Structure 1
Amino acid sequence: MIVFRDPSEVPADFGPSVVAIGKFDGVHSGHRAVLDRARVDAATGGARVVAVTFDRNPLALLRPELCPPNLIGVHQKIQLLAETGIDATLVLRFDEALAGLTPREFVEHVLVEALGVRTVLVGSDFRFGRGGQGDPTMLAELGREFGFDVDVVADVRAHAAGRRVSSTWIRELLAEGDVETAAKLLGRAPSVWGEVVHGLKRGRELGYPTANLSSECEGFIPADGVYAGWLIDEGSTDGLRPGIRFPAAISVGTNPTFDDVASRQVEAYVLDETDLDLYGHRVEVQFTARIRSTVAFEGVDALVAQIDADVAEVRRILG
């Protein structure tokens, strides 16, 4: 998949294209339905499939007090979009200049001139242009003027729950620690991504050395607790060291037994690995199932006994 960071980077002969526009926060099942439709629309006619998205939630600039935490960061978003099989992603920097474009200017500059758009796919709640003036109806009017079609894709709904699949719902589930239901809506395991950094080394002292993720990691961290999951070592940027997937017991929280961790952290113990050196590596930590909530133990012996039980449960869950 090709990644463009500005419309000016798109080659002049790039089009025609079928474009899906959205925040794509989480690249969940609803987003994938839009992208799947785009791929079907582009199956004939030699068009490329392009996702147009943003480097941040527009609310981070327009109404920061209303902006929810992101489910994924830009790195994760690009990776997940690439896995859908689309041809390119245009990641627009959402700044004052972009926010100030009128709906017509956005369509003309981004969709028509840069991408040679043939069809645009959006959700029913799509808004664009200065002050959110544009909606699917206006987009269709501009499409008739500039010669492209507009396809409004219906929501993907979980009928038993009576809700549409949305980033908001997934955030609610993760905040409760319900990673299994969140995974069903995402179509994949929820995860965080970042660099492994040095911690207090307490896990090593207890016989369970952990890989500690930087506080700057990308992704929505689920509720405090202990989880079964996977650690994926991303591999080296030069491709000489391939990515490796390890089963892991994952802890999220502030370590209340010792009460000396200032902020929430994600740390993963790779099963049966005591000499694994991941410092400085970029890794993804995937959450498969929540085992228990975080509690304070009376002494190290009680803590180690519980960790023993946690690891046994993780091993059972992951098979």
Structure 2
Amino acid sequence: MQLYRDLDSLSADFRGGALTIGNFDGVHLGHARIAQLIRQRADEVGGPAVVFTFDPHPVRLLRPELEPPPLTWTRRKVELLGNLGIDAVIAYPTTRDLLNLSPEAFFEQIVVQKMSAKAMVEGPNFNFGKDRAGDTNTLAELCQKHGMQLDILQPFTRPGETEFVSSSRIRKLVAAGDVKLAGEMLTEPYRIRGMVTHGAARGSQLGFPTANLEAVDTLVPAIGVYAGIGYRGEEMFAAAINIGPNPTFGEKARKIEVHMIGFQGSIYGEPLEVSFLNRLRDVISFSDVEALKKQLDIDVQTTIKTFDEYQATRDL
């Protein structure tokens, strides 16, 4: 898997294949269907499977007040798409000049001249070019003109549901704390990253040392206590995660505290990634420290059980 930030440095190995254009925020099951078909079409034309995305999201330039909080950072998106068989991701710099290109000019300059694409796959709500004037009908006409194969996939709906899977739907679930359902719609459990900073060290005093996570650049789940996974390099640990204040000690500021079960050592000043498996409970105030410690022990045991169950499904 290769990540490119521009098209001038794009290797010839990643031209002349199958292409899809979109944001791919979160990399959910609908995106997985596109990736699967892109992989198939790439093999058929004897070229690479490539995802072209924008960095930052075009809304940041056009209507910054409407920009949704992202579900993934670029490197994570590349990793997830690579797991789905994509050969390269182009995180193209979003500029006013790019957004002012007409649909025809965008197609000619990017798809034809720079990418030499032989096939394309998109969803039904695909728009491109200035003012999003180009749609799937425009795309079909342009692909036909240049002899490219085009597939338009319908939105993905999970069995038994009527609402289709989308990044906006997942964003609402994460914001509400329903990380379990959100994870079922993603290709991997929802994950955030941040830097570990010094806190009050109260967790260590209680026997449950925590890493305080700051500078998180994606959507943070709702206030609550969660079972998840902490990643340090190649190592992974069951993690009990507290998002919110510490009302038992009169603290009102929202914090992200991660207790990585079984981890020994210091990670202050280091980056840390955390995935969420399930929400365990609300953040509440306890009558005394002993009552809090008793609940924390229950949280840890539940987290270990949740982590083990998740690992078991991965091993199937």
In the TM superposition, 1:51-200 aligns within 5 A as 51-200=51-200
In the TM superposition, 1:262-277 aligns within 5 A as 262=253, 264-273=254-263, 275-277=264-266
Corresponding residue SS for 1:8: coil
Identity of aligned residues (%): 38
Q: How far 1:212 moved relative to its partner?
A: 1.7
TM-score (normalised: structure 2): 0.92
- The 1:271/1:47 distance shift into structure 2, 3 A limit, reads same
- Given that 1:191 and 1:220 are in contact with CA atoms closer than 8 Å, whether structure 2 keeps it comes out as no
The amino acid across from 2:196 in the alignment is V
Pick which of 222-231 and 279-288 moved more: 279-288
Count of matched residue pairs = 308
List runs of 5+ in structure 1 lacking aligned partners: 236-242
CA distance in 1, matches of 2:13, 2:239: 47
Corresponding residue SS for 1:155: coil
Q: How far 1:3 moved relative to its partner?
A: 1.1
- 2:243 corresponding residue in structure 1: 252
- The 1:142/1:229 distance shift into structure 2, 3 A limit, reads same
User: Residue deviations 1:119-176, cap 9 Å, x none?
Assistant: 1111100111111011111111111223322211111112423101001111121122
- Given that 1:51 and 1:88 are in contact with CA atoms closer than 8 Å, whether structure 2 keeps it comes out as yes
TM-score (normalised: structure 1): 0.91
- The 1:82/1:14 distance shift into structure 2, 3 A limit, reads closer
The amino acid across from 2:173 in the alignment is L
- Given that 1:14 and 1:116 are in contact with CA atoms closer than 8 Å, whether structure 2 keeps it comes out as no
Q: How far 1:246 moved relative to its partner?
A: 0.8
CA distance in 2, matches of 1:92, 1:308: 47
Q: How far 1:272 moved relative to its partner?
A: 3.1
**Greater helix proportion:** 2
CA distance in 2, matches of 1:95, 1:147: 29
User: Residue deviations 1:285-311, cap 9 Å, x none?
Assistant: 011111101112233232222212211
The amino acid across from 2:238 in the alignment is P
CA distance in 1, matches of 2:197, 2:164: 38
- The 1:12/1:224 distance shift into structure 2, 3 A limit, reads same
CA distance in 1, matches of 2:77, 2:307: 26
CA distance in 2, matches of 1:87, 1:74: 15
CA RMSD of aligned residues (A): 1.7
The amino acid across from 2:262 in the alignment is D
Corresponding residue SS for 1:257: helix
CA distance in 1, matches of 2:250, 2:146: 62
- 2:300 corresponding residue in structure 1: 311
